[in-house]
Chain A
């Protein structure tokens, strides 16, 4: 039990960052930055899911943003169909997306490496077209619930009506997501994943149900992605199919690798690159197309020079500075 709740230095840093995000950030940000940070928080949660799957199991999911779309669609659908409070919509959307992730994963899990990645890419391509064809519910009639003109309102959580409070809410949810991953890592599933990562054959010989634990991991990524989509729906009130293109899913994975999949810092860096950097470029008046160029060059540079991602590079640099680590190495 003592080990279960032990907080590592990196964990303290994470809690401090979350505290900063909840206590200080909302009061500093203008309304433009509030919306940027809120959607960054949503994508942070989704990135946490992809990065976790890649780091723990070496599984590559190229459909995370598609899963966000599924979660967002369900949340909007429930919001316009019933009178549930936001939390119920969020929980149901996340659970349903988790189940969707399982259904997607079960046949895909026999495949490994590149093939798994390609199957998820096909899923992302399919979801993109479904979203583009049927759009997201905005209060219209029927199952797809789309009406032209302005849509009906989306109910936010009652404790987070203002943009500032909603940003706090999103950051708290992201923190919960990271804690959920960490909890899994320290319990039975974490040990199973570590064994599977080493060798699937050894894991199976040791009595680990490989399929179950791989599916479980896919489910967690789906849960986080679905929750992220529902939170994004709450932030904007409506969703646009352009957000959930297959290319965005690939981009999210790429950024998770660039940031560094093995630590929470890496996921944070990825989310900042994905949402804050374009917003900054927008303010500085850089052409959106040139932003693509900068992005692509940064991606190439990071992939070539930093195998553990930017976070790995920074942490390694810090480790070299610290005298304790130096003594241990010597």
Chain B
């Protein structure tokens, strides 16, 4: 009984311990610890991107490829404002605002026109929007090495003999806090209840008089805020380059797949595990070169694992 219930978690824990042990074998413990810590930070980025995708997908049925592009636009705005000498927090706020505004624009003006199309076509349409944003920001900001640094980069925290920047800790804490917050929001508020109703059955929810437009707008807003925050953190921790931030959605989708596009906690854990495994591959001389492949392989394996023992499934809607 217990095995059936917690078997998946047990398997996950064993696999993670095995992989970390395998790749970290022979390395200094502190080194392994550092790789895990920075893996958790990268994984938080994947998880946050995935959470934005899942919240929006459940509430509106749109798989949003444009989240990364919105985040990139926000991060570039933040950089520009800082370069012009504005107060830094103003730049961060602008990042969130720009990303939210862009996402809301799509959600209110373009997405409703596609409401009756297949899910895949809706997803492809958001790709068109991502291209528009990416083209516009690459046109506005010519290709130059740029960087954003948050004040938390300079603060180091000593943890078990390792020095970890406060940004990484902040990001890790934020990803857990955001999942908890969204979970509470969905479980306790009226809007959250309505969102769950929409996710369950859109047509029935509409018949029951749920204000679809309002609920969807809020979902787009949440997705936009998350995109802005992820974009800013990505720019700080990894790279401030529009095309790289734009296509961060693909590993984000990999994280979302781990949670079957519905379970936020599993998306979080999936994203974190992907980040850690990806970073642990750095310690392997053979696999070092292909380490960015980790999220895709993990997502594919997880999907196969979910499908085990099933025959062709019919019925239901995609």
Contacts and interface: CB of A to CB of B under 8 A. Distances in A.
Interface stretch (A8-16, A37-45, A170-178, A245-253): A245-253
Interface string B245-278: 0010011011001000100000000000000000
Interface in B119-144: 119-121, 123-125, 127-136, 138-139
Contacts of B135: 289-296
A107 B139 contact: no
Interface in A250-280: 250-251, 253-254, 257
Contact of B290 (A129, A289, A291): A129
B297 interface: yes
Interface in A209-251: 210-211, 246-247, 250-251
B53 to A, nearest CB: 11
B118 to A, nearest CB: 8
A169 to B, nearest CB: 32
B254 A125 contact: yes
Shortest beta-carbon contacts, A-B, top 6: A113-B318, A292-B135, A296-B131, A299-B128, A296-B132, A293-B135
Contacts of A115: 303, 318
Contacts of A297: 128, 132
Interface stretch (A25-33, A71-79, A116-124, A149-157): A116-124
Contacts of A300: 110, 125, 128-129, 132
Nearest to A60: B120
Contact of A111 (B119, B127, B303): B303
Nearest to A204: B312
Contacts of B128: 254, 295-300, 303
Interface in A290-314: 290-300, 303-304, 307
B129 A201 contact: no
A257 B63 contact: no
B189 interface: no
A303 B124 contact: yes
B187 interface: no
B257 A253 contact: no
7 contacts: A111-B303, A121-B253, A125-B254, A250-B127, A254-B124, A294-B135, A300-B110
A294 to B, nearest CB: 8
Interface string A99-113: 000000001001111
Nearest to A113: B318
A121 B250 contact: yes
A250 B127 CA distance: 8
B247 A247 contact: yes
A292 to B, nearest CB: 3
B93 interface: no
A263 B182 CA distance: 45
A126 interface: yes
Interface in A78-116: 107, 110-115
Interface in B289-318: 289-290, 292-293, 295-297, 299-300, 303-304, 307, 310-315, 318
Contacts of B133: 296
A187 interface: no
Contacts of B118: 113
Contacts, number: 139
Given A292-B135, A299-B128, A122 B299 contact: yes
Interface residues of chain B: helix, strand, loop or mixed (majority): helix
B28 interface: no
A123 B293 contact: no
A122 B296 contact: yes
Nearest to A294: B135
Contact of A107 (B131, B138, B257, B304): B304
Contacts of B132: 292-293, 296-297, 300
B125 A299 contact: yes
A111 B315 CA distance: 12
B315 A201 contact: yes
Interface in A120-139: 121-123, 125-126, 129-130, 133-134
A273 B306 CA distance: 39
B123 A117 contact: yes
A329 interface: no
Contact of B130 (A257, A289, A296): A296
B312 A246 contact: no
Interface in B126-183: 127-136, 138-139
B124 A200 contact: no
A296 B129 contact: yes
A15 to B, nearest CB: 31
Given A201-B314, A210-B312, A303-B124, A292 B131 contact: yes
B117 interface: yes
Given A107-B304, A304-B110, A114 B119 contact: yes
B10 interface: no
Contact of B119 (A113, A134, A304): A113
Contacts of A119: 300, 303
Given A290-B135, A304-B125, 14 more contacts: A110-B312, A111-B307, A114-B63, A115-B303, A119-B300, A121-B250, A125-B296, A257-B121, A293-B139, A295-B131, A296-B130, A296-B132, A300-B132, A304-B113
B14 interface: no
A293 B293 CA distance: 29
A60 B119 CA distance: 11
